[in-house]
Amino acid sequence: MEASFRWVLLTAVAPVAWGANYYVTREFLPADRPLWGAALRALPAGLLLLALRPRRPRGAWWWRTAVLGLLNTAGFFVLLYIASQSLATSVASTVMAASPLAMLLLAWALTAARPARAHLLGALVGLAGVGLMLLTRSEPVSLPGLAASAAAMLVSSLGYVLAARWREGADVLATTAWQLLAGGLVLLPLAAAFEGPLVVPAGRELAAFGYVAVVATALAFAAWFAGLRRLPAGTVGLLGLLNPLTGVLLGTVVAGERLGPPQFAGLLLVLAGVALGRPRGGSGGGSGGGSLGRLLARPLGRLLARPLGRAPRSRRSRSVGRVAGAGVAGGGGGGVGDGGGSGGRSVRSGSE
């Protein structure tokens, strides 16, 4: 029992760090440099994770890593940076908390696999909560920020689907490290071309970049993957709720953002929707991230491997529910974003 509690505390580091990342990005990082901001988050974190798991991709995983790095790192980090800068912290964290629910609907559309009623209800409740949060605010909501959030959900969901479709995988932590490096290297020339030369951060800005790279990315992923290997999926799913709760708490208590009763009701609806869509049971044991593979790669991989059409209802419901549950556990993001994880199954053939 004591050992399990320690693993819960360690795993909780990840969603709390991801939730705080919205506040740190908005308050301490430059608003006009999303490309440099994403690159400075990805590259140091990728190097740190690679030091923890020094394995190289092999075979098809070289180009797969490049594709997933483009989506899950370059695209997702830039869009998340823009959303965090454009939206109030409480709003950004609540909107992005609904990403696994949107992912469930996307998986349904792409695979023609109908989710279980509870999961579908969770998606509808959560999306209704986001609408209530946005439509009842007295202050105007940034349309570019909302567009960036929606695009971030789409990009990360696509990366999630691709990782699940590629059923043979690699060590999850090593694959994540290479995705971070690939995405960061893509961002470097774009940042130099569109945002000018790098301005070396100093003072609070340097500390903020250190936080997003070391704590909210490298440490968070290491803690999250460790928890996925050792804790039941349902427990991890509930821990994922700390992501939006942390963002809302920092936004309201520290940043002084105001949420009235309708906004709190919207937040509660989002949390209720995520809780309905979370995984039910399952154990986190295994080695090399195999639990993450069971949550991620197998269900959607099986569905995408067959022709589009109607599968038997019981299997459709179970698979889509688990796909959504994996995203819910991560609190959003299809790969190396603020939650989730899409390295595929952990097998030795993908990296060395």
Helices and strands, number each (H, E), in the chain = 17, 0
What does the pLDDT look like over 44-62, one tens digit per residue? 999 999 999 999 988 888 9
pTM: 0.77
| Average pLDDT of span 214-221 | 94
Say which residue, 341 or 209, is predicted with more confidence: 209
| Average pLDDT of span 204-228 | 93
As given in the structure block, the two tokens for residue 174 are 């090593």
Residue 242 has pLDDT above 70, yes or no: yes
Return d(Cα 154, Cα 147) in angstroms, integer: 11
What does the pLDDT look like over 105-146, one tens digit per residue? 776 777 666 777 777 787 788 778 888 877 777 788 899 999
Tell me what pLDDT residue 120 has. 76
Return d(Cα 239, Cα 233) in angstroms, integer: 10
Radius of gyration of the chain (CA): 19
Query: How many beta carbons lie within 10 A of that of residue 156, not counting itself?
Result: 33
Say which residue, 298 or 266, is predicted with more confidence: 266
